[in-house]
Amino acid sequence: MSEQQKEKMTIIFFSGTMDKAIAAMILATTAASMNMDVSIFFTFWGLNFLKKGRVYKGKSILQKMMEFMMPSSRSKLPLTSMNMMGLGPAMMKKLMESTKTPSLEEFFKMAKAFNVKIYACSTSCGIMGVDNSNMIEGVDGQMGAAAFLGEAQKSKINLFI
Amino acid sequence: MSEQQKEKMTIIFFSGTMDKAIAAMILATTAASMNMDVSIFFTFWGLNFLKKGRVYKGKSILQKMMEFMMPSSRSKLPLTSMNMMGLGPAMMKKLMESTKTPSLEEFFKMAKAFNVKIYACSTSCGIMGVDNSNMIEGVDGQMGAAAFLGEAQKSKINLFI
Amino acid sequence: MSEQQKEKMTIIFFSGTMDKAIAAMILATTAASMNMDVSIFFTFWGLNFLKKGRVYKGKSILQKMMEFMMPSSRSKLPLTSMNMMGLGPAMMKKLMESTKTPSLEEFFKMAKAFNVKIYACSTSCGIMGVDNSNMIEGVDGQMGAAAFLGEAQKSKINLFI
């Protein structure tokens, strides 16, 4: 089937928590393995998923404060329900390991192997002072909301996570 | 109209909070009453909605700790905004009662009466050590992400809650 | 193109936090500027986005307590990740200002200029004791879940935020 005829799925990944990142990665890799064309748009807190590490150079004071206070990379993401449910991210990782569930890192690698497209929201990058050099390998570039909604219009499944 | 021609709605219920469960149940029962074919896929924290009560037998130590720390059943679900907004689940229940809004239990019964399909995510069940015997009546079984995305592909409305 | 042929996007805005409100407004104004027909359905905590200010008259004691504990208007909305990420709403506002991002107020005005439809969920209004006189200018009225799902059925893009 040609690229044009493949069914599409788009995900807006807003939340930047470990548990939602796992959900997004499972949905994305599964859909891609079913021969769907999948794009994920990382925005707001979701941008933390794509960060290589902390960078302060070239940022305003506010952006530096923000950088300091947010998780340094995707291995440090908190859980949505950390306090509420009393479960720490470390315990979640152990539990996944012990049940032979792939880790977030492994899901990301699978996603890239299945050609899942990974976009950083250009508006969020501007607000937070993030540029391409500060992002992990595998990011397919920055994209604005209009371009992403263009993708969403062609999709069968659109999710905001 | 035959089953095949009915419009479909699917919900991925991830969050496991009382307020989002109410929203999901209102949307599901309303769509079903409009003659739509509705499926809800309970995953991650959402699995707490389907639990009969706490079970420790046959679980690993980590799974036991998790079981102990999470809500024991759907009548114990927290609010998304409990701390943020200062509102407790008990107050929310009272408020719904006083305004003649059906309770979560009543919405669930309506959903089943309208033939809303209730699936537990098989991957989440594996991670958390939940089996069918520990789930409430009305669950239509476990399902994997691939099977659920197959449903979502045929749906007009897909929501991640 | 006639109104009937325009592609549609619907958003269910549930969460009532500042960051998610910004995301919803950016998506809505962008889609509308791309000539899509956009409707947002404000429900549960999302209703706080539409409030003119605190009103106690005509409310039950529970509804009064709720009114007292919730944000008084959209300029007081909290962040989803306020505690988790350590970022306050004031800092977020400053950051947006310093990067020339429009404010929530400005996005709302743009949305109305682009004819984005703003509906309050009638069930939520009933539970919380909110009537039309307590809502800001620009609200196109109350709507039930059934009417909104009717809109969603005709939409290419449906999001739950």
List of domains in chain B: 3-160 (3.40.1260.10)
Cβ-Cβ contacts under 8 Å, C17 against chain B? 84
Give the distance from residue A2's alpha carbon to the nearest chain B alpha carbon, in angstroms: 18
- Each as own residue / partner, the long-range contacts of residues B152-155 (CB below 8 Å, 24 or more positions apart, any chain) are B152/A156, B152/A157, B152/B10, B153/A7, B153/A36, B153/A156, B153/A157, B154/B8, B155/A157, B155/B7, B155/B8, B155/B9, B155/B10
> Residue B83 above 50 pLDDT?
no
Of C7, C40, C6, C4, which is closest to residue C23 (Cα–Cα)?
Answer: C40
- Strand order across the beta sheet in which C142-143 lies: C142-143, C117-121, C37-42, C8-13, C157-160
Contacts of C95 (CB under 8 A, 6+ apart): A62, A63, A66, A127, A128
The CA-atom distances, in angstroms, between A4 and each of A141, A144, B101, C62 are 21, 22, 47, 55
Interface of A with B in 96-125 (CB under 8 A): 96, 98-99, 101
> Residue A80 above 80 pLDDT?
no
Judge residue A140's burial from the number of C-beta atoms within 10 Å of its C-beta, 0-12 exposed, 13-18 middle, 19 or more buried. Answer: middle
* CA separation for the pair B74, A89 (Å, rounded): 23
Judge residue A91's burial from the number of C-beta atoms within 10 Å of its C-beta, 0-12 exposed, 13-18 middle, 19 or more buried. Answer: middle
By DSSP bridging, strand C117-121 and strand C142-143 are: parallel
> Residue A83 above 50 pLDDT?
no
B78 touches chain A (CB under 8 A): yes
- Low-confidence winner among A75-79, A141-145, B112-116, C10-14 (lowest mean pLDDT): A75-79
**What are the pLDDT digits (tens) for A89-111?**
778 888 889 889 999 999 999 99
* Number of neighbouring beta carbons within 10 Å of residue C41: 25
Cβ pair C52, C134 in contact under 8 A: yes
Of B121, C31, C90, which is closest to residue A144 (Cα–Cα)?
Answer: C31
Confidence of residue A25 (pLDDT cuts 50, 70, 90): very high
Q: Would you call B158 and A160 a contact, using CB atoms and an 8 Å cutoff?
A: no
Interface predicted TM-score (ipTM): 0.89
Higher-confidence residue of B71 and B160: namely B160
Identify residue B136 by its one-letter amino acid code.
I
Q: Would you call C158 and B161 a contact, using CB atoms and an 8 Å cutoff?
A: no
Identify residue C118 by its one-letter amino acid code.
I
Cross-chain CB nearest to B85 (options C62, C70, C159): C70
Confidence of residue B84 (pLDDT cuts 50, 70, 90): very low
Q: Would you call A95 and B43 a contact, using CB atoms and an 8 Å cutoff?
A: no
* CA separation for the pair C160, A129 (Å, rounded): 28
Q: What is the dihedral of CA A128, A132, A134, A140, to 10 degrees?
A: 110
What pLDDT is stored for residue A107 in this prediction?
95
Query: C6: nearest CA in chain A?
Result: A153
The CA-atom distances, in angstroms, between B143 and each of A32, B10, B117, C35 are 18, 13, 11, 39
Identify residue C2 by its one-letter amino acid code.
S
* CA separation for the pair C137, A147 (Å, rounded): 31
- Low-confidence winner among B58-67, C8-17, C123-132 (lowest mean pLDDT): B58-67
> Taken in order A109, A139, A10, A121, is the CA torsion positive or negative?
positive
Mean pLDDT rounded to a whole number for chain C = 89
Cβ pair A4, A153 in contact under 8 A: no
> Residue A66 above 80 pLDDT?
no
Q: Would you call A36 and B149 a contact, using CB atoms and an 8 Å cutoff?
A: yes
**What are the pLDDT digits (tens) for C26-35?**
999 999 999 9
Mean pLDDT rounded to a whole number for chain A = 89
Residue C75 DSSP symbol: G
Residue with tokens 């969603």: C152
Q: Would you call A146 and C80 a contact, using CB atoms and an 8 Å cutoff?
A: no
3-state secondary structure of C9: strand
**What are the pLDDT digits (tens) for C65-91?**
778 778 888 888 877 764 445 567 778
* CA separation for the pair B76, A56 (Å, rounded): 44
What pLDDT is stored for residue C55 in this prediction?
87
> Residue A85 above 70 pLDDT?
no
Cβ pair B74, B49 in contact under 8 A: yes
Cβ-Cβ contacts under 8 Å, B129 against chain A? 99
C81 touches chain B (CB under 8 A): no
